[in-house]
Amino acid sequence: MALFDNQTKKAPLGVELIRRGLIKDSDINEAVSYQKQHPGVRLGEAFHILKVCPDKLLLDVIGEQLGVPAIILDPISMTFKFTDYLSMDIVKQHKVMPFEIESNKLKVAFADPTDKNVKNMVRLILLSKGISMEEYVTFSSYIDEIITNIENTVETPEAYDTYGQDNTQLVDNIIRSAMAKRASDIHFEPMEDKLRVRFRIDGELIEITNIDKVKQNQIIGRLKAISNMHQEKQTSQDGRIIAYSDYNIRVSSQKNIYGEKIVLRLMKKEANIQGLEELGFTNENDIMEKCFNKRNCITLITAPTGEGKTTTLYSAMNELNKPEINITTIEDPVEIRLPGLNQIEIDANVSFADSLRTILRQDPDIILVGEIRDTETAEIAVQAGQTGHFVLATLHTVDSLEAITRLRKLGISNYDIGSVLAASIGQRLVRRVCKNCAKERPFNDEEKEIFEKIGKKYDYKFDLEGKHTYDIVGCEKCNGVGYYDRIAVVEVLPLTDELKELIVDNKPLTEIRRLAFTQGFRPLIVDAFNKVAAGETTIAEVKKKLTF
C-alpha cells in the first residue's frame, strides 16, 4: 500500500520523513499497523497520534508534500467563531476548521486537503457569503478537540452564571448551548421570582437554568432586538434571528402575568437527511414503491403537530430528487434546504393555495405541500394529483385512516378521495433508549402480558424470544434523562382498489378500517411494540404517545 496517498510526484511521506531524520523504519511499520486497526486514518495523522516526531515538523513536511501551508491549531486558545462561516455539522463531518479572516479572505484548515469535493463545497458556501478561501492543512484531532471544547463550554447550566454580567454573551451562550444539545426549542419563561429557561430536546422540555428576575427585562429586550421585534410592544409578535449562519431561528413572544415569554424554534439549514429506514420505517424499498414512486395521485403523512411529518417528507424527497425530475415545495417555513429542489416559503401575503395555483404553471413533476390546512388548498392539491402530478403533503390527524375523514370534512368528494389518494402514512415520535447508560434486563411477566394483550387485539404475534428491554438510568450524553434521539413508529396504508371502492361508496370509517386489517394493515401501536421488543424504546415511552 502507498505510504501517502497524494497525487504529487514527491517522495512518499514516510520516505521523506526518514530522509530528514525525523522518524525510523520502525515508526513507519508502527503507523501502518495503526492504520490497519483504524481504517480511514491517514498516515500523517497516524504519525501524529503515535507522536513519533514533533507536530510542527511533521505538519510542515505534510504541507510541503501537498503544496498547502500547515497550521497548528491550539484547541485551548481557539476563540474564533467558526460557526459564523460554516455550520457545526459541516465542520464535524468533513473535518474543516475556519480559524482566521483577513481582508474578506477566510483561512480554513482541512484535515484532508486532497478531498476536492469537500474543498469545492466549502469554497461555494463561502462564495455565497462573499468570502474567498485560503486553505491550510492541520490534524483531524486538533479539529475534534476544538469542537469538544466549544460544546463542553456551553453544555452545563453552571456556565451561564460566568457570563451573568453580560446579557449579550448570556443570550448567545444559551442559544449555542441549545444547538449543542440538539434542542428544537428554547423557552424563556417569566415566573414570579425568576426567568426560567427550558430546552425541548427529543420532544421533552428540560429545565436548563434560572436567571435572576432583575435581569429579565434586559434578557427579553436582547432577544427582541436580535429578532427584529418592536421593543415597546407588549402584544404577541413574531420575529427571526439570522445571526447564526447554520440555523434558521423563528421567535415568538407572548405576554403573560409575569412579563413576556419568548420561544425560539431552532431549525438547521443544512441538516443531514436520514433515510426512511433510519427514521424508523421498515422495508424502505417497499415503502418507496407503494407510497412515493407515483404519478397522478397524493400521498399524505399524518400525525399531530411535532411528530416528525416534515422530516419524513424530506427523507422521501431526498430519495426522489433526480436531475430529470422537477420538484417544487411550498413550506412554512423552509426548514431544510435541499440542493436540486425549488423551495418556496410562505409569508403573510401568500397562502399555500396561492402558491400551489402558481406552481401548477411551472411544469412540476412532484409537488410538496407543507400542510393542507383548508378546503381551498385541499381542492387544488387534488386537482394537481388528478392532472399528472405526484403530490406529497401533511395533514393533522390522529392516524392514517382518519385522513379520509379529514378530507371529507374539508369538502373533498368521496369520488375525488378514492381516485387520487394513493397512500396515507401515520406516525409518532418516541424517544430512543440511551444505550450509553441504560441497563439491559429481560422482559418481566407484566410486560409480556401487555405484549400478549396487544397481539391478541390486533391478531399479531410478537417475537420476544431472546429479546431484552432496558431500565432507564441517565448520563451526561443524554442530559440525565436516559433517552437520546427519537425514532418514528409508523403505520402505512396503501389504498387498494377495494379500499377505494368503499371510500367512493361513502362507507363509514369502521368498515374501511376492517377491510384494511384483512389486507395486512397494522396500527401504530403494533409498530411501537415491535420497536420496544427490538430494544429501541420502552413501554413507558410508548404510553406517553399511544393508548393501549
Alpha-carbon torsion angle 509, 513, 515, 521, nearest 10: 150
517, pLDDT greater than 90: yes
Judge if 41 and 92 occupy the same domain. no
Q: Is residue 7 part of a domain?
A: no
| Strand pairing category for 297-302 and 390-395 | parallel
Residue 43's domain comprises 13-66
What pLDDT does 191 receive?
Answer: 94
Q: Are residues 211 and 117 in the same domain?
A: no
Q: Are residues 165 and 17 in the same domain?
A: no
Give the three-state DSSP class for 367: strand
Looking at the fold, whether 302 and 212 belong to one and the same domain comes out as: no
Q: Which residues pair with 159 in a beta bridge?
A: none
Let me know whether 256 and 280 are in one domain.
no
Q: Is residue 76 one of the residues assigned to a domain?
A: no
How is residue 385 written as a grid cell?
394529483
Say whether pLDDT at 470 is over 60. Answer: yes
Least confident of 126-130, 138-142, 476-480, 533-537: 126-130
Strand order through the sheet with 194-201? 204-212, 194-201, 185-190, 259-268, 247-256, 237-241
Average pLDDT, the chain: 87
459 sits in the region (left: phi over 0; alpha: psi -120 to 50; else beta) called left
Distance CA 359, CA 374 (A): 18
Lowest mean pLDDT of 154-168, 334-348, 495-509, name the range: 154-168
Alpha helices in 280-398, H assignment, sequence order: 284-287, 309-320, 352-359, 375-386
- Among residues 82, 85, 81, 83, the alpha carbon closest in space to that of 129 is found at 85
The secondary structure element, H or E, covering residue 468 is strand 468-471
Does residue 3 lie within any of the structural domains?
A: no
Last residue of a domain, one of 133, 150, 167: 150
Residues 6+ apart with CB under 8 A from 358: none
How far is Cα 360 from Cα 391, in angstroms, rounded to an integer?
Answer: 11
H runs (alpha helix) in 163-297: 167-180, 216-226, 276-279, 284-287
Q: Quote the CA–CA distance of 335 and 326 in Å, as a whole number.
A: 20
Q: Which three cell numbers stand for residue 183?
A: 434542542
User: 369-401 pLDDT, tens per residue?
Assistant: 989 999 999 999 999 999 889 999 999 999 999
132-137 and 439-442 strand pairing: unpaired
- CATH code (residue 410): 3.40.50.300
The predicted pLDDT at position 347 comes to 78
Reported as a single tens digit per residue, the pLDDT across 131-176 is 889 999 999 888 988 888 776 654 444 444 433 446 888 898 899 8
Q: Which three cell numbers stand for residue 345?
A: 416559503
What is the number of domains present in the chain?
4
Q: Are residues 435 and 533 in the same domain?
A: yes
- Do 298 and 399 lie in one domain? The reply is yes
Mean pLDDT of 290-304: 91
Cell of 96: 474543516
CATH (domain of 124):
3.30.300.160
Q: Quick one: 140 and 176 in the same domain?
A: no
Residue 94: pLDDT band with limits 50, 70, 90: confident
Say if CB 424 and CB 403 are below 8 A apart: yes
Flag whether pLDDT at 290 surpasses 90: no
Residues 371 and 464 in one domain: yes
Same domain, 261 and 334: no
Q: Quick check: helix, strand or coil at residue 168?
A: helix
Question: End of a domain among 150, 167, 198?
Answer: 150
* 434 φ/ψ angles, rounded to the nearest 5 degrees: -80, 105
- Residue 1 falls within a domain, yes or no? no
Q: Is there a domain that residue 90 lies in?
A: yes
pLDDT digits (tens, 9 = 90+) for 350-373: 788 888 888 988 899 999 998 999
- Structural domain includes residue 171: yes
Whether residue 46 is contained in a domain is answered as yes
Residue 314 phi/psi, 5° resolution?
-65, -40
- Looking at per-residue pLDDT, the higher value among 410 and 37 belongs to 410
Reported as type and span, the H/E element at residue 238 is strand 237-241
Structural domain includes residue 175: yes
What is the distance between the alpha carbons of residues 498 and 525, in angstroms, rounded to a whole number? 24
Which pLDDT value is given to residue 152? 61
Which CATH number goes with the domain that contains 223? Answer: 3.30.450.90
Q: Are 159 and 137 members of one domain?
A: no
Task: Determine the Cα–Cα distance for residues 99 and 463; give it in Å rounded to an integer.
Answer: 53
Contacts of 301 (CB under 8 A, 6+ apart): 309, 312, 313, 392, 393, 394, 395, 425, 427
Same domain, 420 and 383: yes
Amino acid identity, position 482: G
> Would the pLDDT of 87 be above 50?
yes
On the CB side of 296, CA atoms within 13 Å amount to 5
In this predicted structure, what is the pLDDT of residue 118?
A: 87
The last residue of a domain, from among 118, 150, 182: 150
β-pair partners for 70: 137
Residue 140: alpha-carbon gap to chain centroid: 24
